[in-house]
Amino acid sequence: MTEHPSLSIDTDIAAALAQVRREITTAAHAGGRVEADITLVAVSKTQPVALLQAALSAGQRAFGENRVQETAAKWPTLRVQHPDIELHLIGPLQTNKIKDAVDLFDVIETVDRPKLAAALAMELQRNPKRLRCYIEINTGGEPQKSGIAPAELEALLALCRNDYKLPVTGLMCIPPQDEDPALHFALLTDLARRHHLSEISMGMSADYPLAIRFGATHIRVGTAIFGTRLSSSL
């Protein structure tokens, strides 16, 4: 049997997405939640446009990228064809890329310092658009990782809300690879509730059902949808 290559890509991605969506439903129901309250952010970093198109054809609309330049190369054309997509920045943001980031993304998940918050607020004054921000929490206290310590959240949030009027709507975390993520997921949900933030971004291919049981509203899933990445960029 010979099949057109792009047809089999479409079928594979559609099947993988359907499988992830089934697991979202199962995990949501197990936790007394509804699947509609959980947004699947398909992490498409390093993946070629053909795979993004396959995911779009299968109805996927929220995507995560970790680099501003790669996003600028891949997404503007696709957005013309699909104006209803939502792009999440899930990698660190340098202040010199803020203008492009505000142009390209709908959600910046990695706000982690006052200087970045100030620069984002300033760019939003210049280029008013509907953008949401999450604060990244380094729940594992890992020195090499971005994100603020849980104890710093109150001050940064106050600054964002009161001084910068930055639309912070959620929290994001990437738990340490060698630890049980459950404690980190519980901590992030607790922080979000205490600070009245409705969006909770946690859980990746290996642990998203667990993240959903602990309250995730946004899960970031790459490998389980698109397969192994050619170049690693985490």
Ligand X SMILES: *Cc1c(COP(=O)(O)O)cnc(C)c1O
- Give residue number: closest CB to ligand X: 222
* Nearest approach, Cβ of residue 123 and ligand X (Å): 22
The nearer residue to ligand X, 160 or 174, going by C-beta atoms, is 174
Name the nearest CA neighbour of 62 among 17, 129, 1. 17
The nearer residue to ligand X, 140 or 164, going by C-beta atoms, is 140
The nearer residue to ligand X, 79 or 229, going by C-beta atoms, is 229
Q: Are 110 and 134 in contact (CB under 8 A)?
A: yes
* Nearest approach, Cβ of residue 187 and ligand X (Å): 17
* Nearest approach, Cβ of residue 133 and ligand X (Å): 15
Residues sharing a CB contact under 8 Å with residue 29, sequence separation 6 or more, in sequence order: 35
Tell me how far apart the alpha carbons of residues 202 and 119 are, in angstroms, rounded to a whole number. Answer: 25
- Measured from the Cβ of residue 82, the count of other Cβ atoms closer than 10 Å reads 15
Q: Are 101 and 65 in contact (CB under 8 A)?
A: no
Phi and psi at residue 225, to the nearest 5°: -100, -50
Phi and psi at residue 169, to the nearest 5°: -120, -5
Q: Are 45 and 70 in contact (CB under 8 A)?
A: yes
The nearer residue to ligand X, 74 or 164, going by C-beta atoms, is 74
* Nearest approach, Cβ of residue 63 and ligand X (Å): 11
Residues linked to residue 168 through DSSP beta bridges, in sequence order: 133
* Nearest approach, Cβ of residue 8 and ligand X (Å): 21
SS (H, E, C) 33-46: CCHHHCEEEEECCC
* Nearest approach, Cβ of residue 217 and ligand X (Å): 15
The nearer residue to ligand X, 61 or 161, going by C-beta atoms, is 61
Name the nearest CA neighbour of 88 among 111, 112, 72, 109. 109
What is the binding site for ligand X (CB under 6 A)?
43, 45, 66, 90, 174, 204-206, 220-224, 234
The nearer residue to ligand X, 140 or 222, going by C-beta atoms, is 222
